[in-house]
Every structure is written in structure tokens, then in C-alpha cells.
Amino acid sequence: DVKVTQSSRYLVKRTGEKVFLECVQDMDHENMFWYRQDPGLGLRLIYFSYDVKMKEKGDIPEGYSVSREKKERFSLILESASTNQTSMYLCASRPTEPTNEKLFFGSGTQLSVL
């Protein structure tokens, strides 16, 4: 089975801290995604990557950056955490082929910024 692993299940950080959320997948998928999920707003795409060192902005990239130095790892970085970044963060991956393959999700990181 495909496994997408997020390094932390729960995180508590202070305003202004730099925060790293790590995601690793073990199925050689080309595409990796970072979403945040908030009540009433659903899943919103922050950034995605379709290859090593490649990244594309999603719908809400402001306040975030990403890094993909290796194919299996996709990191989300909050340069200076703010309280409005308190959310559930979900990492996902999928292969490029077949084109209709489902997304495989990690178990999520609940981030609280105080």
C-alpha cells in the first residue's frame, strides 16, 4: 500500500516562529501536494510539486513556501507563523500516470499557532 507520512500529528507553535511540516511518500509519485483544511472552507491547495525542485502555487500560497529536494519528500514552510495559520494541514501524492489516479493522503498535522 502507498504510504504518505507526515512527521507530526499535532504541533503547537508561537507567533513568529519558523515552522517546517515534513511529508514523505514511498511510492515514487511525481506529484505532491500541500492542502489546508478549515471548517466550512474544505480543502484548499497551498502548493504542489510535479517534480524534484519544481513547485507551483495553489489557491492560497501567501505566507507559505515549499521545498522538494528529493522526489519522496515535500516540505511546507511557514516563514513566520501567524494565528490565522492555525489549521489542519494535509499532504498528498499521486502519480502522473495513470492520469485519473486518486490522491493518497497523509494522516494530517493539526497546527496551532498561539
Partner 1 sequence: GQNIDQPTEMTATEGAIVQINCTYQTSGFNGLFWYQQHAGEAPTFLSYNVLDGLEEKGRFSSFLSRSKGYSYLLLKELQMKDSASYLCACEGSGANNLFFGTGTRLTVIP
Q: Kindly determine how many residues on this chain lie close enough to bind partner 1 according to the rule CB under 8 A.
A: 21
Q: Residues 76 to 105: which contact partner 1 by CB under 8 A?
A: 90, 99-100, 102-103, 105
Q: CB of 60 within 8 A of CB of 44?
A: yes
Member of 34, 48, 64, 74 binding partner 1 (CB under 8 A): 48
Q: CB of 25 within 8 A of CB of 34?
A: no
Count the neighbouring beta carbons within 10 Å of the beta carbon of residue 16. 10
Q: Does 110 bind partner 1 (CB under 8 A)?
A: yes
Q: How far is the CB of 105 from partner 1 (least distance, A)?
A: 4
Residue 106 C-alpha cell reads as: 497523509
Helices (H) and strands (E) in the chain, counts: 0, 11
Nearer to partner 1, 18 or 53 (CB): 53
Nearer to partner 1, 33 or 64 (CB): 33
Distance CA(36)–CA(108), nearest Å, equals 9
Query: Residues in the site for partner 1, rule: CB under 8 A?
Result: 31, 33, 40-43, 45, 48, 50, 56, 58, 90, 99-100, 102-103, 105-108, 110
